[in-house]
Each structure stands twice: as C-alpha cells, then as structure tokens.
Chains A and B, each alone.
Chain A
Amino acid sequence: MADRIADIWGTRTPHAKDTPWPVRVDLHLDAGLAESDVDRWVQSACVLCSNGCGCDIAVKNGRMVGVRGRAGDVVNHGRLGPKGLYGSWQWAGRDRLTRPLVREGGRLVETDWDTAMDRVVRRSRELLAETGPLSHGFYTSGQLFLEEYYTLGVIGKAGLGTPHMDGNTRLCTATAAAAMKESFGSDGQPGSYTDIDSCDALFLFGHNMAETQTVLWARVLDRLAGPDRPVVVAVDPRRTKVAEAASESGGVHLAPLPGTNQALMNGLVREVIANGWVDRDYVEAHTLGFDELAATVEPYTPEHVAGVCRVDPADLRRAARIFGTGERVLSTVLQGFYQSHQATAAACQVNNLHLLRGLIGRRGCGILQMNGQPTAQNTRECGADGDLPGFRNWDNPEHVRELARLWNVDPLTIPHWAPPTHAMQIWRYAEQGSIRFLWISATNPAVSLPQLPRVREILAKKDLFVVVQDGFRTETAEYADVVLPAALWGEKQGTFTNVNRTVHLSDKAVEPPGEARADLDIFLDYTRRMDFRDRDGAPLIKWSDPEGAFEAWRECSRGRLCDYTGLSYAKLRAGSGIPWPCNEEHPDGCDRLYTDGVFPTHPEVCEDYGHDLLTGGTTSAEQYKARRPDGRAFLKTAHYAPPPEQPDDEYPLLCTTGRTVYHFHTRTKTGRSRQLRRAAPEPWVELSAADAAALGVAEGDLVRVESPRGRVEAPARVGRGRDGVVFLPFHYGYWDTEGDQHARAANELTPTEWDPVSKQPLFKISAVRVTRLAGATGPAPAPTTAASAPQDSVGVVPTRGDDDVREDVAPTDPPAPPPVPDRTPNVLPHAAPKG
C-alpha cells in the first residue's frame, strides 16, 4: 500500500524514449473495504483537473465507495493522483443541497422545484418583455458536461438570443483558446500527451505541472527516471518541483519577475532567430509574418531582457540553445502565462518558437496549451463561453447560417454582431445594472473572481436577480434569489474532453441526494417552461436526455475540426477515452494534429479573423482575406509593455496566486475529503527567505497582505520563491470559517484587469505590502511536499497521510496510442503556393 499524500506521484515506472509508458493501476477504497466487496464498477473519468484520467467508480449499496484507474485509458494508463484518489467521491452525501431555495424576507428558505423554477421563468419573461435578451447573462463553468454546455449554448444563442454567456473558463483557459486561434486559426490542441514519451526537451512555461496535473507529471518523471531522459526548462517565479527537475536534468530554471513574460519570450525568439536555428523551408511554406516577427523581437537582446525580467542573460541564452538545437521539443503552457499580463501575446510566442523550428505535428514535438478545469475544452467547443459552437466564427455569415439551419431559427436571432461578451464584461454590465438576470452554474465567483469586495457588492445588488445552480451551498449561493440543487459527478451521465482532446464518457453511478437534479435536466426544464420554439413552431430543443444531447452536438460538430461524428456513447463505453477529431475516416480519433503543416486558417474554416495582440482590436474579414493565409499559421507578437500594476513604495511586493496540489478550485469537493483537508487545511502566505528576513517574519508568524483592494491574513511560510514575490493559494474561501471577516481568499487582493485578447484576468500580478501581526504558534499549514516546502525544514512536520492506496505496476500492456492522420480532418489545404 502507498501513502499518496506523502508520495504524490506514486511509484516510478521508468521507461526509455519512444517506448510506451507502462501501466500502473491505482486503487483507493473506503476504509475496511476490499475489491471483492464492490457491487459495481461504473465507467468515468476524473473531474478534478484538466487531465481527465480515466477511472471506474466503485459502488456498494447505492453509494460511491472508491475509485480505480483504467489501465487501458490513453490518458493515464491506470494512474490516479491524490485528488482523484481522495477527492473524487469522498464529498458525496456531505453538506449537499437537496432542495431548491428561494429568498423570502432576505433569507433563503427551502421550497419545491415548481416554485423555484416559476420564479426564474417569471423574472426571465418580465425582463425579456421589458428590455429584451440583453438583460440576461449566464456565467457557467469548466466543470459541467458537454451535453449541458451545448444545451445551455443553444438556449442562449437560439432561444434567448443573448451574447452575454461565458464560463469561469475565462479565468483558467481562455488564453489557450485565444493563442491557438491567433496562431493556427482555430482552437484545437496541436500536441498530445504521447509526445512526453518521445521528446528530448520539455519546456514548461508558467506551468507547475507537478501540482496542477499530477498524473501528467508522473509521466514526465517516468521519462526522467529512465535512460535517454529529456532536458527540462521551467519558467516560473517559484522553486517548484518542475523547477527542481529542470536543474537536475541539466536544463534551466528561469524565474522572471511577474508581469514580464512577454519580454522573456521576445528574448527567446530573438535568440532562436539570431543564431540561425530557424527552419527556413518550413517557415516559408507554412507561416506568415516572419519579417514582422523578426523586426519586433530584434531589440530584445539577452542583456536587455535580463534587465526587464531580472534573470541571468546566460540562463536565457542556454534555454534558447536547448530550444534551438533540440531535435524534439515539447512545450506546455499554463496559468503563469495565461493569468498574467500580455497573456495571449506570450502564449503565441510559444507557438511561434515551434513554428520557427517546424517542431509541430511530429513525434515528440508538440505544443500543449493547457486547460485548468476538467471540462473547459467543452465550454469552448459547445459555445457556453460565448463563442459559437463547433469553433465557428461569429464574424463569418456562412457559419452563422449553418447554425441557424441546424437549429431551424432565423440567423438574426443568433447574436453575432460583435464578439461574445466576456465574463469580466458580463459582471461589469451587472454592476452597471444593464444585466439584471444572472444565472450562475457550477462555479463560485464569490471566491474565484478577482477583487472580491467588488464581486460581493455586485451579487448583493437589489436589481440583480441571481440564480445559483450548484451541488453545495457555496459562498455565491448565499447571495442568490433562487438556488437550484444540482447533481454532481457520479450522480449523472455525460461526456467531457480533456486537454489533449480525449473524450470520456462518465456514467451515472448513484442517485443524486434529495431532490437534486442533473444540470442538463435543469436547463431542459427552463427551456420547456420558457417554451422556446424553432421557426416551424416545434420545440427548439429536441432532446430530453444526455445521449440525445450528445447526438445533437455530434451533428453540430460535423465538418469542423472538433469533429465528434465518429463517436457515440456505445463506442466510448466499449473502450475508453478517444481523442477528436473522430469521424468516419478516422474512427479511432487523432493523436496529433498538423502533421502536414496545414492549419485551419483558411477564411472559410477559421474560428476567428484574429486580433492585434497589443490592444485586442479585431481584424476584419477583408483584412484577413487579403493576407491569404489559406492554411498557413500566423507568426504574431507584440512589444513588451509594462503591466498595469507595478510595485511602488506603498505596495513594494508582487503577489501571485495559484493552486496547491491537494485542492481544486474553491475546495467545495476537496475540502470535504479528510485526507486532502488534513494535507492543506488552511491558507498561508509564502515569502522568500530574504523578504521574510527584511520584514522580520519567521516561519508561522501571522502576517497581513494588503493590496489597494483588500487584505488577507494568514501564517507565513518562509519558502523558496524569488525575492520580491509573495504567493497565495487561491482555494480558500469562507464556507468553512466562522464570522463574517473577509480576509482569507486570495482574490480579496487581485485586480479587475484582463488580457486584451483572451480577456483572461490578471490574477498573477497585484502589488501588495506585507506586515507582521503576531508571532507563530507553529509552522504555517502549508504542504511540505511540493512548491510550498519550507526553506528550512527544521521544526516543520512533513505532510503525510495513510498507507491506503494500492498500486499495481504493469498488470497489463499499455494501450496503443491513437493513430496520427497524415492530414488534419476538415482543414482545407494550402490554396496555392505563396508569392
């Protein structure tokens, strides 16, 4: 048995380059139960991060009692991480919402579904009559199922006709989508996890993979423990496990000052160009914009960049050499870039590095623009983030007509007069009072949005009707006019898609508690009550269950890059995860995209005509067509511009926020798991050793962190980050605290600012000051197992759990990787040679 709190990544199964990653099946059952006690195993995949590890849920006496990795799943080859093992089902039956609630005399009281839905529908109708659909906003999630997003998308776009729909995916993954649209013409992950098994160098840009996707990191560790291991390069201001691996593997750890990523990236690209590491033939045949890119990055010499980012110019040169001379390079990008200043521009520079060297679409050469949440990919595909479903282009009249035909509605109903309203703007409209109906599903903005004092004020506004649909009574639910109790994972059926496009079916294992209902059923109920009709007077939404919704979505995806037409519930159930595009021609899906260097940039297929990366101004259809991209990728960049908020005398430090390995989102599930809660029970404030010394702060001292917007109070961890930078975990809110003090959530401090292209908020850059409030009563409650490890471990008890996980190494052969198509499906080839 293994203690997977202490040993986060589990037993090593080393393997050599180009050999398959061995299987290791991880199993955790409720105390006292053996595998033979389990009544049924129900197929699913984990929803506690974007990795999407295939798993089976153990059911006994109608209860979820355990979880086991699926050996034959291409994503995880049987493994699960601490959150999957300890947080996937342990919340079941605890503190759940079991009946609808409505506000009566200022208090939330229990009621029945009819009463609750009646209030929702009444307010909805009133506002539609009074103002029209622009009064309605929807703020959804990265944690529902595909079927639910698609249904919600159709309600918003063809039923109501409001452009105000977005997900909290805006906070976690918007930049991944934006960067792929700018570079390749469409969302759609170019690379695959299998590239880890074959790469020579691995670059992680602002991606603490060791904590955010632990099973993916285990895959990297198994390469690092084997022969011919890859060199790792980490870009992160903290000394993460990834940064340690970079040093140990002979790579580089670059720790730029928060807010300077774009300068760093311009410097890396410049080095690659200046040293002649560019694949001229590839660039000539498959890209546009080289001269402009080269001219823009020219001033970013290593010395200049070193001054801006405060890194060693020799390190920058070394990192560039590793990229420039590596035969197979894989890059991953996450929140360190996405939630930072100039997010899209910096993420595009990662794409550019690969395009310049032609390191894309080949074995071991890939890009993984990561996601944060488990089903974020589906929010993006299905139109629940405001984009049109199936990666269709809101500015392309033919794409709008396609949807109108599919849904049998007037094309004018479908909002396409401007880009969809992004989350931060939705909240602004609610603040200004022009959105007066806000439906929040499966997310907790009262903890997860930036600048919480402002968010609470908006939620509390009298003229804003707030519907909250969730499994728990969250901090956000407390502000609702109507609360709808939702079924959670294991209590409903649906599919979802992970970072590398792998689609999983998650079957229903148990009944939801009380009167809780599947989110899909709630949306369908609203549709019926609102009586949305198509052009012929038939019900707009023609499905009534998850499989019906999936089939409708399949039709919507036909002919698009995210082609699901080759998938069905039966097929997913017969095997395990399958990556899209999957159609008649490619029935087993596609592992990697863009093998032939042809990208979905043709004006007829592209998802977006692109933006100016500096301002977010949109390129018009005419401008786009005039460039004749026709399958070539764009090399786009922007000059570095200083971030909107910079340290000064009053607020001299920079604060970044992030995850810890044991929790997910706002801890609604992981905080209710005994093992995970014990491993990271309370928030902390991480300071560098030098900053702590300058402030007179010792390990465990109570400190206050203040920004111009709010404050947080927590014990200090004297950690190993770079000087001048404070780190706060973002998971902690107020549902498990006493009193009404708001000094625990990291987002009390963060600013209302966003990237001009992806509109992703800048969680990683707030100027703050730190003051010592009181002496320590013990060490800070921060885990010692990963990036928040103390600088000096004396007196700090190591984080550990119990020996309660069974790991079965190599019980079967690894699953075969999905096939790689010669040409990417549904992408038009280059029209004519350039020139």
Chain B
Amino acid sequence: MHLATYLGLLHTSLTTLADAFREVGRGHGEEPDVRHTCQVLADLADQQAEALAPVVRRYGEHREDEPERLHAAGLESTRGGPVGLLRDLQDLYTLASLTDITWTVVGQAAQGLRDRELLDVVNSREQDTARQLTWLRTRIKQAAPQALIAAG
C-alpha cells in the first residue's frame, strides 16, 4: 500500500523541516525574531512527527518499495545578508509547502480507509504546518522590499 510510503514521506519531511528551521534559526541569529520563532516552529514540527510516529509504525509493515526521488533535500547551510535571509526563508517555505500538501494527501487516504487514529492526527496537527507557512509568508513579505531594493 502506497499510503505507508506516503506516511514515511510525511514523517521524514517533518523531521527535515524541523532540522531546516533549526539551521535557519542558528544561521540568522542576528535576527532575534527569526532565531526565536524558528526554534519554536522546529519544536512544533518535532511534536507533529512524534504524534505521527505510532501510525507510521503501524503501517510500516505494509511498506512497498519507495518511488524514485521521493524525499526533498533538507538545508545543509544558510546564506548571509538580507537577500540570503530571504532565500533561506523561501527554502523553508518550499519544504513546508511539500509537508502541507502531503498532510492533505495522507488525510484523503485516511478518509478513504476510515482510519480514525490517522484522521485524528491529521486533524489536530495539520494546522501547525499552516501556521509555519503563515509565519514564513509574513516574514518573507516583510523582508522582501528592503532586501531587494535598499540593501547593499
């Protein structure tokens, strides 16, 4: 069943995203709001992954071979300066978007299977990804004009 594969994808994308938030928070420590909020959002992603773990284990037994290029790469390092910050936030946005749509995919399958445990996890945790996207969009919108027009 490919749902098992997709649960694996969701789980790794959550942990990849958590690590990426931590990386960006560390790399842009000079921006206190970025440092602190990235930490808070990394913790949220960890909690999401934790909540999903029992379901991943349950389906794990029925796993098929993974399709090619399933997982998105994480962030190895961060860039410097105002434009670098903007670009790093956009990378986070891409990762979080993948996670977001994967929640949707998994949620659809959970409906089809009437898997209550999985539906509960999706319903209670999905919005934390939306929250990450909301913050990223807000911060990107704020940073963009200054970085692209006025920064040296």
Chains A and B form a bound pair: yes
Q: When each residue 364-405 of chain A gets 1 if its CB lies under 8 Å from chain B and 0 otherwise, what string results?
A: 000000000000000000000000000000000000000000
By beta carbon, the residue of chain A nearest B142 is A418
- Residues of A near B32 (CB, < 8 A) are 424, 644, 751-754
The residue on A at minimum CB distance from B147 is: A434
What's the Cα separation between A417 and B152 when bound, in Å? 21
Per-residue interface assignment for chain B, residues 32 to 45, with 1 indicating a CB less than 8 Å from any chain A CB and 0 otherwise = 11011100110000
Judge whether A641 is part of the interface by a CB distance below 8 angstroms.
Answer: yes
CA distance A615 to B129 in the complex (A): 12
Interface residue? B108 (CB, 8 A): no
Within 8 A of A (CB), among B131-148: 131, 134-138, 141-142, 144-147
A325 interface residue per 8 A CB criterion? no
A429 and B143 CA atoms in complex are apart in Å by 10
Interface string of A314-355 (1 = CB under 8 A from B): 000000000000000000000000000000000000000000
A535 within 8 A of B: no
Q: Answer yes or no: A612 CB below 8 A from chain B CBs.
A: yes
Interface: B149 (CB within 8 A):
yes
A432 surroundings in chain B (CB, below 8 A): 81-82, 151
Contact present for A434 and B82 (CB under 8 Å): yes
A134-B145, A612-B131, A641-B40 known; A756 vs B33 contact (CB < 8 Å): yes
Asked if A756 and B37 make an inter-chain contact with CB atoms under 8 angstroms apart, the answer reads: yes
Contact between chains at B82 and A417 (CB < 8 Å): no
Q: Does A435 contact B (CB under 8 A)?
A: yes
User: Does A616 lie within 8 Å of B138, measured CB to CB?
Assistant: yes
Task: Decide if A419 is an interface residue (CB 8 Å cutoff).
Answer: yes
Complex formed: what's the CA distance from A419 to B36 in Å?
A: 20
Distance in angstroms between the alpha carbons of A37 and B135 in the assembled complex: 63
B113, CB-defined interface residue at 8 Å: no
Nearest-CB residue, chain B, relative to A623? B134
Please tell me if the beta carbons of A612 and B149 are within 8 angstroms of each other in the complex: no
Residue B150 CB within 8 A of the other chain: yes
Nearest neighbor of A611 in chain B, beta-carbon distance: B138
Among B35, B37, B149, the residue within 8 A (CB) of A134 is B149
Residues of A within 8 A of B149 (CB): 131-132, 134
Does A433 touch B at the CB level, under 8 Å? yes
Pairwise interchain contact A618-B138, C-beta atoms closer than 8 A:
yes
CB-CB under 8 A from A776, the residues of chain B are: none
Contacts of A751 in B (CB 8 A): 32
* Measured CA separation A415–B131 after assembly (Å): 26
CB of B131 within 8 A of CB of A617, answer yes
Interface size class of A (residues with CB under 8 A): 20 to 34
> Would A616 and B152 count as touching, CB distance under 8 A?
no
- Is there contact, CB below 8 Å, between B150 and A132? yes
Q: A417-B141, A752-B32 are in contact. Are A615 and B134 (CB under 8 A)?
A: yes
Residues of chain B contacted by A617 (CB below 8 angstroms): 131, 134-138
Please tell me if the beta carbons of A644 and B36 are within 8 angstroms of each other in the complex: yes
Q: A418-B141, A641-B40, A753-B32 are in contact. Are A612 and B152 (CB under 8 A)?
A: no
Expressed in whole angstroms, the Cα–Cα distance for A650 and B135 within the complex equals: 33
Closest to A762 in B: B32
Quick check: is A311 within 8 A (CB to CB) of the other chain?
no
Tell me, yes or no, whether B115 is within 8 Å of chain A by CB: no
How far apart are the CA atoms of A429 and B85 in the complex, in Å?
A: 13
CA distance A421 to B147 in the complex (A): 13
Contacts of B64 in A (CB 8 A): none
Contacts of B131 in A (CB 8 A): 612, 614-615, 617
Measured CA separation A163–B144 after assembly (Å) = 13
Cβ-based interface call for B31 (8 A): yes
The reply to whether the CB of A428 lies closer than 8 angstroms to some CB of chain B is yes
Residues of B within 8 A of A619 (CB): 134
The answer to whether the Cβ of A135 comes within 8 Å of any Cβ in the partner chain is yes
- Residue in A closest to B140 when the chains form the complex, CB atoms: A418
CA gap between A370 and B33 in the complex, in Å = 25
The CA of A612 and the CA of B82, in the complex, are separated in Å by 24
Given contacts A417-B141, A418-B141, A432-B151, contact A615 B40 (CB under 8 A): yes
Chain B: interface secondary structure? helix
Q: Using CB atoms, name the residue of chain B closest to A163.
A: B145
User: Smallest CB-CB separation from B148: which chain A residue?
Assistant: A134
Highest count of chain B CB atoms <10 Å: which of A421, A434, A614, A615: A615
Residue in B32, B82, B141 with the greatest tally of chain A CB atoms within 10 Å: B32
Q: Which residue of B lies closest to A419 (CB)?
A: B142
Shortest C-beta distance, A488 to chain B (Å), equals 34
Complex CA distance for A752 and B144, rounded to whole angstroms? 22
A134, B146: Cβ atoms closer than 8 Å: yes
How far, in Å, is A651 (CB) from chain B's closest CB? 18
Q: How far is the CA of A434 from the CA of B146 in the complex (A)?
A: 7
Q: Across the interface, which residues of B come within 8 angstroms of A419, CB to CB?
A: 138, 142
Question: Whose C-beta in chain B lies nearest to the C-beta of A451?
Answer: B32
Bound together, the chains give a CA A200 to CA B37 distance in angstroms of 40
Determine whether the beta carbon of A614 is less than 8 Å from that of B40.
yes
B116 to chain A, nearest CB (A): 19
Chain B residues with CB under 8 Å of A612's CB are: 131, 134-135
The docked-state distance in angstroms from the alpha carbon of A751 to that of B141 is 25
Known contacts A432-B151, A434-B150, A616-B135: does B33 contact A754 (CB below 8 Å)?
A: yes
CB-defined contacts of A433 to chain B, threshold 8 Å: 151-152
Given known A434-B82, A615-B40, contact A428–B152 (CB-CB < 8 A): no
Judge whether B150 and A618 touch: CB under 8 Å. no
Report the separation of the CA atoms of residues A131 and B35 in the bound assembly, to the nearest whole angstrom: 29
Interface residues of A in 411-458 (CB under 8 A from B): 417-419, 421, 424-425, 428-429, 432-435
B104 to chain A, nearest CB (A): 17
Q: How far is the CB of B43 from chain A (nearest CB, A)?
A: 8
- Which residues of the partner chain B approach A417 to less than 8 Å between Cβ atoms? 141, 145
In the complex the two chains form, what is the Cα distance from A187 to B34 in whole Å?
27
Contact with B along A710-753 (1 / 0, CB 8 A): 00000000000000000000000000000000000000000111
A618-B31 contact, Cβ under 8 Å, with A132-B150, A417-B141: no
Interfacial chain B residues near A435, Cβ < 8 Å: 150
- Say yes or no: B146 contacts A429, CB within 8 Å: yes
**Contacting pair A616 B145 (CB below 8 A):** no
**In whole angstroms, how far apart are the Cα atoms of A618 and B138 in the complex?**
6
Residues of chain B from 21 to 62 with CB closer than 8 A to chain A in the complex? 31-33, 35-37, 40-41
A218 CB to nearest chain B CB (Å):
39
> Is B141 a contact partner of A135 (Cβ separation < 8 A)?
no
* Separation of A43 and B144 alpha carbons in the complex (Å): 48
Q: Roughly how many angstroms separate A752 CA and B32 CA in the complex, as a whole number?
A: 7
Residue of B nearest to A428 (CB): B31
Q: How far is the CA of A424 from the CA of B146 in the complex (A)?
A: 15
Contact flag A615-B135 (CB < 8 Å), given A417-B145, A428-B31, A434-B82: yes
Task: From A131, A163, A618, name the one whose CB has the most chain B CB atoms within 10 angstroms.
Answer: A618
Q: How far is the CA of A419 from the CA of B33 in the complex (A)?
A: 15
Tell me if A131 and B134 are in contact (CB < 8 A). no
Quick one: CB contact mask for A598-630 with B, threshold 8 Å, 1 for yes?
000000000000001011111100000000000
How many whole Å from A623's CB to the nearest CB in chain B? 9
Shortest CB–CB separation between residue A753 and chain B, in angstroms? 5
- Alpha-carbon distance between A293 and B152 when the two chains are bound, in angstroms: 45
Partner of B37, one of A421, A425, A615: A615
In the bound complex, CA of A514 to CA of B7 (Å) = 76
| Bound Cα distance from A616 to B147, whole angstroms | 20
Q: Please indicate the chain B residues that have their CB under 8 angstroms from the CB of A425 in the complex.
A: 142
User: What are some 25 contacts across the A-B interface (CB < 8 A)?
Assistant: A131-B150, A132-B150, A134-B146, A417-B141, A418-B141, A418-B145, A421-B142, A429-B150, A432-B151, A434-B82, A434-B146, A434-B152, A612-B131, A612-B134, A612-B135, A615-B134, A615-B135, A641-B40, A644-B32, A644-B36, A752-B32, A753-B32, A753-B36, A756-B33, A756-B36
**Residues of A participating in the B interface, judged by any CB pair closer than 8 Å:** 131-132, 134-135, 163, 417-419, 421, 424-425, 428-429, 432-435, 612, 614-619, 641, 644, 751-754, 756
In the A-B complex, the 7 residue pairs with the smallest Cβ-Cβ separation, listed nearest first, are: A617-B134, A617-B135, A134-B150, A434-B150, A615-B135, A418-B141, A434-B151
A134-B145, A754-B32 given; 10 more Cβ-contact pairs under 8 Å: A418-B142, A419-B138, A425-B142, A435-B150, A612-B135, A615-B37, A616-B135, A617-B134, A617-B135, A618-B138
